[in-house]
Amino acid sequence: MATSLLADIAIALTAKLNAETFTKALTVARIYDPEVKLEELAGGRIVVFPAEEESRAVDARNIDRRNLVLHVAIQAKLETSSDGDTEEIDGWLAYVDEVKEYLNRLRNMDEEPYFVVTGIEHRPAYSVRHLRESRLFFALIIVKVRVMWNMSA
């Protein structure tokens, strides 16, 4: 079945993240519906899902420049009591840093789909609302990807 470029990049990004070793051994999942139950977040989860796309024709070379945005969400129910939240959140933020550092230098030029990560944002760094209401760590990494697409290929 044909897949969209957004799906192709999400699949590739998920595979790249799963092939990398981080300090927390979480399996990255590709999803479309990001809703999750609080009770499913013990131990944490990291998910990739597409957010938006912008295409632009580049001159007359029959090439499209496609800018995609994908979201990488990290969510984890904090385990320790409220006294120990700070240390636990430090650990999750350090994990987010690892993922960001990896994504920020990611170039996929060896196999299709060819893409380059052109920038990332980390927003929110963590959700105060989720923390206060559910003792839940939530961080979102916004990944900006550029794909050069030859329309004559």
Contact residues: another protein, CB under 8 A:
34-39, 41-42, 73, 75, 77, 80-83, 123-124, 127, 129-130, 132-136, 138, 140
Q: Which residues pair with 66 in a beta bridge?
A: 55, 147
- Residue linked to tokens 């969209």: 4
Residue closer to another protein, measured from CB, 31 or 148: 31
Q: Tell me how far apart the alpha carbons of residues 65 and 56 are, in angstroms, rounded to a whole number.
A: 5
Residue closer to another protein, measured from CB, 140 or 147: 140
Backbone region of residue 40 per phi and psi (left: phi > 0; alpha: psi in -120 to 50; beta: other values): alpha
Q: Tell me how far apart the alpha carbons of residues 138 and 125 are, in angstroms, rounded to a whole number.
A: 8
| Six-digit token string for 15 | 């595979």
- Closest approach of Cβ 99 to another protein, in Å? 16
- Closest approach of Cβ 69 to another protein, in Å? 12
Residue closer to another protein, measured from CB, 65 or 129: 129
Residue closer to another protein, measured from CB, 36 or 58: 36
